[in-house]
Amino acid sequence: MIKAKMHCHYVQKSEGVETLHAHPVYSGSEENKSFSQATPSGNLSLTITNPEAFGVIKEGQDFYLNFTPIDMKTKEG
């Protein structure tokens, strides 16, 4: 698993949709500095259509993003 720490700098709201715009953290704490050494740059744009998930991540909030590989041997389709 790979773990990134992201900062949501903008939430774009439209009817029935929220789009999060985020980038990796790079300062503000020793933890953020350590994350920035592993993931120094990038952008994330995530469109959310599930109303129950609206507002979970807010502008100005940091969050962890986990990447867990899928075992392709067990994947169907």
Tens-digit pLDDT profile for residues 9-66: 999 999 999 999 999 998 888 888 887 787 678 899 999 999 999 999 999 999 999 9
Query: For residue 73, is it within any domain?
Result: no
Domain range enclosing 28: 2-67
Query: For residue 57, is it within any domain?
Result: yes
Query: For residue 59, is it within any domain?
Result: yes
Query: For residue 61, is it within any domain?
Result: yes
Number of domains into which the chain is organized: 1
- The single-letter DSSP state of residue 51 is G
Confidence at residue 60, expressed as pLDDT on a 0 to 100 scale: 96
Give the residue from 72, 4, 74 showing the smallest Cα distance to 35: 4
Query: For residue 17, is it within any domain?
Result: yes
Structure tokens at 68: 């867990």
| β-sheet with 17-24: strand ranges across | 44-48, 17-24, 2-14, 62-67
Cα 76 to Cα 40, 68, 70, 72, distances in angstroms? 35, 17, 11, 8
